[in-house]
Structure 1
Amino acid sequence: MILTINGNPLDVELLGDDPDAPLLIAHHGAPGLGSKSEPRMAFGPLSDLFRVLVFDARGSGKSGDTGPFTHEQWVADVDALREWAGAETFVMAGGSYGGFIAMEYAIAHPERLRALVLRDTSADHEHNDLAIANARSSDRVDIDEDMLMRMMEGRIRDNQDFKDSWRELLPLYGFTFDPAVVEERVNSTDYHYATHNAAFSQNLNHYDVKPMLPSVSCPALVTVGRTDWITPVSCSERIAELIPDSQLAIFEESGHSPPSDEPELFQQTVRDFLKTHALY
């Protein structure tokens, strides 16, 4: 369904048949590239326990492109979705860049969260340097240096350039490399290059929530794939060290997406955590 949230149309899907079940809102990563399909895959199976709300964020997927594309605006959109769903408290989940927004929400609205689930994310922008080094050293891609830096610095020229760049970088993401899967993802993606540029050229330059993470008061599950190239394991270890009530789960046969690389283990890990910490 399309909802107008804070003056912008968002493509929203609410999964689960029990109107009295607690709410889980999941935020996708890759602003300008991501969509609700990623959190639906990762958290949709929990719809037997929760009402699971997934959506295309402002400036991504099938949602509208009304700015600003800032962390503050994306956090405000999450809170408006919570209010629309009629929940006083909920579980916040976020993967990759969506993890940035999940942590920012936990800092801004601690009273609203039952629990926090993070997937392959970082507490500051320093992971960018690690990611660039990992891309340069990978034997999966013959990296185009200009393309890599335009992606990582938010200087993409247009949507065709965005698509071409995404095709080059996608082989880095999975634990295994399947060219057919890469091409399918490239062709099924909606491209919003201006959103990506705002996120990587403006937002990330100022992003650092490490000083605030010790104030996060809800239980947190921090998950990461062992071979994640863009937000490596050290980033998740740092988050788990800083959030007081947290546990870290490293998926040994996963890249940037344990929900797709090790789906059964990921589902069981998240389900066990939420049954213990969020169903009350």
Structure 2
Amino acid sequence: MHIEINGVNLVYDDSGGEKIPFVTLHGGPGMGSRKGDWAAFQPLTDTFRLISYDQRGNGESEGREPYSHEQFVADLEGLRQKLNLGRIVLLGGSYGGFIALEYALRHPENLHALILRDTAASNKYQYTAKQRALASGLPMDGERLDRLFSGRLTSDEDFRESFAMIQPLYTVRRDPEEEARRLAALPFRYQTHNWAFRRNQPNYDLTARLPEIKVPVLVTVGRHDWITPLEASQELHRLLPNSQLVIFENSGHSPHVEEQERYLQEVRNFLQRHLASQI
């Protein structure tokens, strides 16, 4: 489905109905897509109205600057208003977690609860992520890695080749066939990535403001996440006053896929506790 928000055409999926809205924010600016979350969280449609969308400059949605955190938050709020969603459950994964936290600070009155998946409150983990990549034993081009993390990619194909280099780091169990399939399916858009990593990331730090977020928060993370590591989620849990931390021992960056059954059960348990009278 298509919807115009703030002058940009966004593509979204919506399971519909009168249930509590469960909105997902994908990560990976410039290569993210609604499709992964839409597939992973389908089982929740028995209880929630699932809505997943491609953010501007991502997936099948139109690309138009700015790709700032402020604009991503404004687009989410525009979507919420245009679909008449009222209060929502918001899940943000990876970079989508950055936007989810920003949204929670700007629009707390619109949230039932917040779910964070493998994300961070600041940019301070980027250096250690690069060091992990270089020490991983995988073939790494240091110059290409620097360009990826600093937002200096030169084309969509440059983006694709750069991500191919680090893709094996994301999961605990390697599956070259699945990696190749995913690489072929991802919609790489280097300009969105460059904006995010050159302009947004250097100034991203919400650490001091986390105590302002009072809504219930479920913080989830894979034990072996290389890019937004366990320490980042532990920090979130420590500073978010109404939070719960769940660690997935057999996962990397995507426990909602690597341990899907348990992940969904933890989400259900969390929401049942906090929204029991409304589910």
TM-score (norm 2): 0.97
Letter in 2 for 1:242: L
Letter in 2 for 1:158: S
Question: Hey, what does 1:60 align to over in structure 2?
Answer: 58
Does 1:9 pair with 2:9?
yes
SS class of match (1:53): strand
Question: Hey, what does 1:253 align to over in structure 2?
Answer: 250
Question: Hey, what does 1:23 align to over in structure 2?
Answer: 21
Of 37, 40, 51, the residue aligned with 2:35 is: 37
Distance between the aligned counterparts of 2:49 and 2:83, measured in 1?
Answer: 9
Question: Hey, what does 1:155 align to over in structure 2?
Answer: 152
Query: Residue 58 of structure 1 contacts residue 66 of structure 1 at CA under 8 Å; is this kept in 2?
Result: yes
Query: Residue 15 of structure 1 contacts residue 51 of structure 1 at CA under 8 Å; is this kept in 2?
Result: yes
* Equivalenced residues, count: 277
Distance between the aligned counterparts of 1:23 and 1:135, measured in 2?
Answer: 37
Question: Hey, what does 2:127 align to over in structure 1?
Answer: 129
- 1:130 deviates by 1.5
Of 190, 195, 207, the residue aligned with 2:192 is: 195
Question: Hey, what does 1:102 align to over in structure 2?
Answer: 100
- Deviation digits for residues 58-97 of structure 1, max 9, x if unmatched? 0000000111100000001111111122122111110000
Distance between the aligned counterparts of 1:214 and 1:136, measured in 2?
Answer: 35
Distance between the aligned counterparts of 2:109 and 2:198, measured in 1?
Answer: 32
Distance between the aligned counterparts of 1:59 and 1:247, measured in 2?
Answer: 32
Distance between the aligned counterparts of 2:80 and 2:58, measured in 1?
Answer: 19
How does 1:204-243 map onto structure 2 within 5 Å?
Answer: 204-243=201-240
Structure 1: gaps spanning 5 or more residues = none
Structure 2: gaps spanning 5 or more residues = none
Question: Hey, what does 1:88 align to over in structure 2?
Answer: 86
- 1:44 deviates by 2.6
- 1:43 deviates by 2.5
- 1:224 deviates by 0.3
- 1:2 deviates by 1.2
Distance between the aligned counterparts of 2:119 and 2:8, measured in 1?
Answer: 26
Question: Hey, what does 2:270 align to over in structure 1?
Answer: 273
Distance between the aligned counterparts of 1:42 and 1:102, measured in 2?
Answer: 18
Distance between the aligned counterparts of 1:196 and 1:269, measured in 2?
Answer: 31
- 1:160 deviates by 0.8
- 1:38 deviates by 2.0
Distance between the aligned counterparts of 2:169 and 2:43, measured in 1?
Answer: 26
Of 168, 177, 181, the residue aligned with 1:180 is: 177
Query: Residue 5 of structure 1 contacts residue 80 of structure 1 at CA under 8 Å; is this kept in 2?
Result: yes
Letter in 1 for 2:135: S
- 1:278 deviates by 3.1
Deviates more, 1:81-90 or 1:69-78: 81-90
Letter in 1 for 2:9: P
Distance between the aligned counterparts of 1:169 and 1:251, measured in 2?
Answer: 21
Distance between the aligned counterparts of 2:252 and 2:258, measured in 1?
Answer: 7
What's the RMSD between the two structures over aligned residues? Answer: 0.9
Distance between the aligned counterparts of 2:39 and 2:29, measured in 1?
Answer: 18
Distance between the aligned counterparts of 1:37 and 1:31, measured in 2?
Answer: 14
Distance between the aligned counterparts of 1:133 and 1:278, measured in 2?
Answer: 41
Query: Residue 91 of structure 1 contacts residue 278 of structure 1 at CA under 8 Å; is this kept in 2?
Result: no
Distance between the aligned counterparts of 2:55 and 2:42, measured in 1?
Answer: 17
TM-score (norm 1): 0.97
SS class of match (1:99): helix
SS class of match (2:41): helix
Letter in 1 for 2:172: F
Identity %: 43
How does 1:139-150 map onto structure 2 within 5 Å?
Answer: 139=137, 141-150=138-147
Does 1:119 pair with 2:105?
no
Of 55, 70, 73, the residue aligned with 2:68 is: 70
